[in-house]
Amino acid sequence: MSDVYIDPSPANFQAFKELPRDEPIHMLNLLLYRDLAEYPEGHEHHSNGWSGKRAYEEYGKTSGPIFRRVGGEIVWRGAFQTMVTGPDTREWHDGFVAQYPNSGAFFEMIKDADYQQAVVNRTAALADSRLIRFAPGDVGGGFG
């Protein structure tokens, strides 16, 4: 079992596909950037010396129009400060929650040919990540 995750495992992706596809979803993204982006040999950005953060910004720039076209929007974004509950050695650089009208919109995005070109920037950028699906819940009020 890996301690580093960039793409979903086949089992996790299958579980995602088996969940309802006709209801809104929230996707929690936790990001840890590489110091230096790792593009494949021959890619236009291979020798540009970008940081992982800069490569992720390129991913946002190139995938953003597709994300918005399928109805996606960022509903929360934050920068990591410290781990309160969890392993002392685990850090993240950034986190955000992306909202989609349904998982069909997410599938439409990841199958898009332009998105598949853009995702190379994400892979080059990240040392580790988590992508966790949630059903949207009520906002505000207390814990109970």
Per-residue model confidence as pLDDT tens digits over 42-88: 999 999 999 999 999 999 999 999 999 999 999 999 999 999 999 98
Domain boundaries, position 48? 21-134
Does the pTM exceed 0.85?
A: yes
Condensed to tens digits (0 to 9), the pLDDT of residues 2-39 reads 688 999 999 999 999 999 999 999 999 999 999 999 99
* Residue 82 within any structural domain of the chain: yes
- φ, ψ of residue 121 in degrees (nearest 5): -65, -40
Average pLDDT over residues 122-138: 96
* Residue 1 within any structural domain of the chain: no
How many domains does the structure of the chain reveal?
A: 1
Does the CA dihedral 9-13-14-16 come out positive or negative?
Answer: positive
Contact 96, 74 (CB under 8 A): yes
CB atoms within 10 A of CB 29: 16
User: Is the predicted pLDDT of residue 132 greater than 90, yes or no?
Assistant: yes
What's the rounded Cα separation, in Å, for the pair 54 and 121?
9
* Residue 99 within any structural domain of the chain: yes
* Residue 61 within any structural domain of the chain: yes
Contact 92, 32 (CB under 8 A): yes
What's the rounded Cα separation, in Å, for the pair 34 and 2?
17
Tell me, what CATH number does 88's domain have?
A: 3.30.70.100
* Residue 79 within any structural domain of the chain: yes
* Residue 107 within any structural domain of the chain: yes
* Residue 6 within any structural domain of the chain: no
